[in-house]
Amino acid sequence: MTELLSLHRVTKRFRGVVALDAISLVVRPGEIIGLIGPNGAGKTTLVNVVTGVHRPSEGTIRFKGEPITRLRPDQIARRGISRTFQIVQPFPEMSVVENVAAAALFGGGASSVAEARTAAREWLSFCGLGAEAEKSASSLTLAGRKRLELAKGLALRPKLLLLDEVNAGLNPAEIDRALDLIGAIAAGGITVLLIEHLMKVVTRACTRVVVLHHGRLIADGRPDEVVSDDRVIEAYLGRRFAERHRVAVP
């Protein structure tokens, strides 16, 4: 299978603090990859580096075989990588449909405002917000704002969608609906990489899991392999729990 995104020994330093330490990673078309790790592990930094928010201190990033290491965020978005943000901040004075239409105009290939609004309504319907289209974005619940953020990302018509804790703050029923939506996105041909803390989401949604700890990649494999890896258990739950887990495993 061809590579969609590849990182080769990507390192990011902030005034001497190593946030990412020589990360090498390949993302292939059609995957749903869970990016997990403790707080401060480097997950959001990795997404920021891929999307051009931060430039890596060392290493190279390629998308569809072309280098994107030095490109601006808008250039990367137009090449087919979009993202959501952990803290969702829609344009509050604009309507829901206007928020998504702005993304369609910016990088989704829409040639006019009318075309952008049509595309926006389609993505809002897909994300379950069709009835909210003319409401103010500021009136949405947290779950609604998360879906709006997702619709904005999809309006860019990406090949790769990066989701930063899209389920944070949602209740169990909302998480189940989000899982169905992620599956539908992947079924539509979009490769997904999601930062996630909920192992329910990781084990149900992901075809592969990548684990960061202190900026280093410590595990990469199928969900069942990764969740039983002692290094992952220890990174998440502490040495004492890891020792008890090892004793309990035959």
Region 167-180: mean pLDDT is 87
Identify the weakest region by mean pLDDT among 133-142, 162-171, 227-236.
227-236
Report the percent of the chain where pLDDT is more than 70.
94
Q: Assess whether 204 and 171 both reside in one domain.
A: yes
pLDDT at 158: 96
Q: Assess whether 165 and 76 both reside in one domain.
A: yes
Strands 208-213 and 32-36 come out as: parallel
Q: Is the pLDDT of residue 154 over 70?
A: yes
* Rounded distance between C-alpha atoms, residue 242 and residue 40, angstroms: 20
* Rounded distance between C-alpha atoms, residue 27 and residue 32, angstroms: 9
pLDDT tens sequence across 236-247: 756 665 565 453
Region 6-10: mean pLDDT is 98
Q: Is the pLDDT of residue 85 over 70?
A: yes
Domain that holds residue 119: 89-157
Number of domains in the chain: 2
Q: Assess whether 16 and 127 both reside in one domain.
A: no
Q: Where is the domain boundary, 157, 174, 209?
A: 157
Q: Assess whether 239 and 148 both reside in one domain.
A: no
Tell the burial category of 132 from Cβ atoms under 10 Å away from its Cβ (0-12, 13-18, 19+).
buried
Q: Is the pLDDT of residue 250 over 60?
A: no
pLDDT tens sequence across 65-77: 999 999 999 999 9
* Rounded distance between C-alpha atoms, residue 129 and residue 148, angstroms: 7
CATH number where 220 lies? 3.40.50.300
pLDDT at 119: 96
Instruction: With CA atoms as reference, report the closest residue to 14 among 72, 52, 56, 68.
Output: 56
Q: Assess whether 99 and 219 both reside in one domain.
A: no
* Rounded distance between C-alpha atoms, residue 46 and residue 21, angstroms: 10
Region 209-227: mean pLDDT is 92
3-state secondary structure of 108: coil
